[in-house]
């Protein structure tokens, strides 16, 4: 990892001297109505030397948990005590966020930024937005987390995707206590973690929250859990003084998405629990028709645990229902 030491750090229009915090934006073009688009950024430049930890949130616009986590974590990070730098991008896809949609509704060709990242400078609008962000991040970030949630369609409990390199697993474990569902579904393209991997750096994708956890108390809880993890990562890498926690147990596995085999009303089985080991074949949920007749059941496809369930009980054939971690074993 590189070390930032006594240098001014500039990202987009935000310039912070050592021991300072600066806000600004990464310019990303204008729209037809004259609206200037920029990606908001917060640079916390520590007074002491250390690595640069980059936090990305809301690459999907229906995932407000990451922005909340950034604003809560920022209150806990004193730049005078920080070694290295923390760069926060609380809203990577501002037009999608403004519409509360997964992607930017003005761009139907490259709607999902987390499938086209790092984009291209001469591509569709979302490609260009991704490229502007990538150009700002690629030489600055040493380690990166991208915060996601279940968005409009689901709730996801604490889950992480890594590329299985030791440094990637180390960063995942640094998310702290309770983050033991660590899976190795690694796509070589399309996401910030993939782009950073290609550049020889370390990024991970983390998931917590979603539509069925947006009541006031639950939304706050999700934001606080994620903020704790941001600070825990600073502890782990010696960027802040404090005792890091780690997940125990810590599982290795791969995800499988379970889709609805029938239409109707989705009813999770009473007593089933997120992030709790179950046996292959155990029932997770039942789909009933409007009269209450059972139309189909969802069962665990392997020994493992589910970490995501759909938010809306109304379900149509082929709809996404459950994210399952097919557990292969424990991590060291």
Three-state DSSP at 311 gives coil
> Rounded distance, CA 31 to CA 6, Å?
38
Which of 148, 228, 236, 252 is the binder for Zn ion (CB under 5 A)?
A: 148
Q: Between β-strands 48-57 and 202-210, what pairing exists: parallel, antiparallel or unpaired?
A: unpaired
Of the pair 156, 300, the CB lying nearest Zn ion is at 156
| Alpha-carbon span 178 to 143, nearest angstrom | 21
By CB under 5 A, how many residues form the interface with Zn ion? 2
Q: Cis before residue 98, ω within 30 degrees of 0? A: no
C-beta of 162: minimal distance to Zn ion in Å? 16
Q: In angstroms, what is the minimal distance from the CB of 200 to Zn ion? A: 25
Binders of Zn ion among residues 176 to 235 (CB under 5 A) are: none
Q: Which is nearer to Zn ion, 9 or 193 (CB)?
A: 193
Question: At closest approach, how far in Å is the CB of 156 from Zn ion?
Answer: 9
Q: Which of 10-18, 41-49, 74-82, 148-156 is the region at the interface with Zn ion (rule: CB under 5 A)?
A: 148-156
CB of 60 to Zn ion, least distance (A): 4
Q: Residue 181's closest CA among 248, 250, 79, 264?
A: 250
Distance CA 176, CA 206 (A): 12
Q: Where are the alpha helices (DSSP H) in 138-273?
A: 166-173, 192-198, 216-236
Is 153 a binding residue for Zn ion by CB under 5 A? The answer is no
CA distance 206 to 179: 9
Query: Nearer to Zn ion by C-beta: 148 or 252?
Result: 148
Q: Residues 108-147 vs Zn ion: string with x where CB under 5 A? A: ----------------------------------------
- Listed in sequence order, the residues at least 6 apart from 92 whose beta carbon sits closer than 8 Å to its beta carbon are 39, 56, 57, 58, 59, 113, 133
- 9 vs 181, beta carbon nearer Zn ion: 181
Report the site for Zn ion in 19-78 (rule: CB under 5 A): 60
Report the interface residues with Zn ion, using CB under 5 A: 60, 148
């Amino acid at each position: 990892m590189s070390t930032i030491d006594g240098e001014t750090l500039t990202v987009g229009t935000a310039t912070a001297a050592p021991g300072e915090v600066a806000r600004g934006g990464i310019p990303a073009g204008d729209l037809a109505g004259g609206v200037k688009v920029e990606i908001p950024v917060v640079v916390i430049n520590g007074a002491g030397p250390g690595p640069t930890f980059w936090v990305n949130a809301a690459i999907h616009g229906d995932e407000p948990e990451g922005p909340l986590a950034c604003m809560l974590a920022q209150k806990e990070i004193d730049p005078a005590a920080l070694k290295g730098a923390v760069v926060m991008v609380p809203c990577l896809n501002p037009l999608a966020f403004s519409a509360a949609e997964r992607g930017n509704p003005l761009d139907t060709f490259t709607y999902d930024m987390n499938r086209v990242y790092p984009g291209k400078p001469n591509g569709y609008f979302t490609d260009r937005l991704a490229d502007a962000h990538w150009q700002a991040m690629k030489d600055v970030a040493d380690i990166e987390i991208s915060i996601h949630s279940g968005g409009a369609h689901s709730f996801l409990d604490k889950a992480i995707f890594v590329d299985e390199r030791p440094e990637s697993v180390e960063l995942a474990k640094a998310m702290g206590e309770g983050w033991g569902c660590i899976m190795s579904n690694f796509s070589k393209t399309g996401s910030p973690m993939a782009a950073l991997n290609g550049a020889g750096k370390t990024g991970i994708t983390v998931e917590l929250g979603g539509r069925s956890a947006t009541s006031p108390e639950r939304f706050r809880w999700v934001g606080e859990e994620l903020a704790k993890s941001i600070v825990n990562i600073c502890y782990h890498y010696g960027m802040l003084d404090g005792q890091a926690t780690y997940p125990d147990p810590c599982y290795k596995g791969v995800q499988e998405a379970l889709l609805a085999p029938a239409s109707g009303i989705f009813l999770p089985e009473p007593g089933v629990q997120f992030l709790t080991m179950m046996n292959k074949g155990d029932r997770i949920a039942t789909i009933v028709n409007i009269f209450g007749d059972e139309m189909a059941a969802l069962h665990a496809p392997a020994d493992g645990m589910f970490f995501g369930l759909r938010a809306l009980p109304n379900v149509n054939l082929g709809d996404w229902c459950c994210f399952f971690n097919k557990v292969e074993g424990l991590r060291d």
